[in-house]
Amino acid sequence: MSIKLTIDGKELEARPGATILQTARDYGIYIPTLCDNPALEPYGGCRLCLVEVEGMPKPTTSCTTPVTEGMKVKTVTPTVERLRKTVIELLLSDHPNDCMICERAGDCKLQEFAYFYGLRENRFYGKRRQYTKQDENPFLERNMDKCILCGLCVRVCNEVQGVGAIDIAYRGFDAKVCPSFEKDLDCEFCGQCVSVCPTGALSGRIWAKKGRTINVKEVETTCSYCGCGCQLNLHVRGNEIARVSSKPDNHNEGWLCVKGRFGYEFINSPDRLKTPLIKKDGKFTEATWDEAISYIAARFKKIVEDHSTDALAGLSSARCTNEENFLFQKFMRAVIGTNNVDHCARL
Ligand code: SF4
Ligand code: SF4
Ligand code: SF4
């Protein structure tokens, strides 16, 4: 049974157990957030999603408040707008405001809200956090000066990846995201934490200075590393990949492994094979595709003539698509005439 409520004067029906934020999103009503991600448990940390609810003495976080029958919610009032603006001011008061040289400029939620609220001056002066220690790991750049302690990285590592490599250590002004005992990060390097970070605090090490959102065009493709076939968005600048991301509405829900997210440098590698090679007198020599295919066809024919079709076998790869694998087995069975077909991912 649905729950009836009004949000901003609109009469709506919500799913039982849904929060105000989820219901607002279901109806396309925008509520700003910094610490929310629909794939993760509600957190209520950033206080940006505050709304006013009739009968409640003070504004409440819409991400953690379930809807109730007859509830009357206002998402935009002078009080919540003043509170939201103050939250952003407080975050900026302890932030390097490095937008000019930051990898995430143009794709940063903190910058976006500062722009929206027209914030330039800082009225909260005081100590700022400065972290100089850098990890030695080859994948993740962690710039904790830009961390707003939204906890998204910690939660995604725990709730989605099931690793728990990082947490928020210390409390109050000293609170910071780090691995246990502040050691260097040593984890699966899936980059899930990078993908949910709303600021430039987390980034890919190989992404540095390759191009920001405004400089790249996104090209959708399928990861070729394994049979999961995760959907990738290649951020391309010129003829080079600047970084890789994935969207939450894909079958892999936007999550990738270290290979899919960071293992793309082979594409522009100068060591990459560009033409077929045929071994002649023990040495590989460059050949055209026509030469290579004719050579293979002639060898197949000779083997079949000398030993029968079952002297040939085909081993396919999980790096190919389903369609390619289908065609491959069809070729082996219908053209070559053998059922000797196998696949590296069968077991
Ligand atoms: S994290 Fe965002 S607000 Fe901070 S310096 Fe980078 S772009 Fe600017
Ligand atoms: S890279 Fe993956 S495993 Fe490592 S901290 Fe981030 S989410 Fe956790
Ligand atoms: S590193 Fe990014 S995701 Fe993690 S708490 Fe800081 S701002 Fe949030």
Burial class of 65 by CB neighbour count within 10 A (0 to 12, 13 to 18, 19+): buried
Calculate how far, in angstroms, residue 276's C-alpha sits from the geometric centre of ligand 2: 39
Residue type at position 325? N
Burial class of 290 by CB neighbour count within 10 A (0 to 12, 13 to 18, 19+): exposed
Which ligand has the minimum distance to the alpha carbon of residue 165? 2
pLDDT of residue 252: 96
The residue whose C-alpha atom lies closest to atom 1 belonging to ligand 2 is 189
Residue 3 neighbours by CB under 8 Å, 6+ apart: 13, 14, 15, 16, 18, 67, 68, 69, 71
The residue whose C-alpha atom lies closest to atom 6 belonging to ligand 3 is 147
The residue whose C-alpha atom lies closest to atom 8 belonging to ligand 1 is 99
CATH code of the domain occupying 209-272: 2.20.25.90
The residue whose C-alpha atom lies closest to atom 6 belonging to ligand 2 is 193
Task: Calculate the alpha carbon distances from 326 to 221, 222, 330, 336, 341 in Å.
Answer: 20, 17, 6, 15, 11
Calculate how far, in angstroms, residue 298's C-alpha sits from the geometric centre of ligand 2: 50
Calculate how far, in angstroms, residue 212's C-alpha sits from the geometric centre of ligand 1: 12
pLDDT of residue 132: 78
pLDDT of residue 322: 84
Q: How many whole angstroms separate alpha carbon 195 and alpha carbon 203?
A: 8
Give alpha helix (H) positions in 140-281.
Answer: 152-155, 192-196, 258-262
Calculate how far, in angstroms, residue 245's C-alpha sits from the geometric centre of ligand 1: 19
Cβ of 199 less than 6 Å from ligand 3: yes
**What dihedral angle (degrees, nearest 10) is formed by the CA atoms of 287, 293, 298, 304?**
140
Calculate how far, in angstroms, residue 289's C-alpha sits from the geometric centre of ligand 3: 49
| CATH pick for 3-76 out of 3.30.460.10, 3.90.640.10, 1.10.10.10, 3.10.20.740 | 3.10.20.740
The residue whose C-alpha atom lies closest to atom 8 belonging to ligand 2 is 157
pLDDT of residue 347: 63
Write down the domain spans for the chain.
3-76, 209-272, 277-343
Cβ of 53 less than 6 Å from ligand 1: no
Q: How many whole angstroms separate alpha carbon 5 and alpha carbon 70?
A: 5
- Tell me if 233 sits within 8 A of 245, measured CB to CB: yes
Tens digit of pLDDT at every position of the chain (347 positions): 899 999 999 999 999 999 999 999 999 999 999 999 999 999 999 999 999 999 999 999 999 999 999 999 999 999 999 999 999 999 999 999 999 999 999 999 999 999 999 998 888 988 888 887 678 899 999 999 999 999 999 999 999 999 999 999 999 999 999 999 999 999 999 999 999 999 999 999 999 999 999 899 999 999 988 878 899 999 999 989 999 999 999 999 999 999 999 999 998 899 999 999 999 999 999 999 999 999 999 999 999 999 999 999 999 988 788 899 999 999 999 999 999 999 887 76
pLDDT of residue 321: 80
pLDDT of residue 120: 84
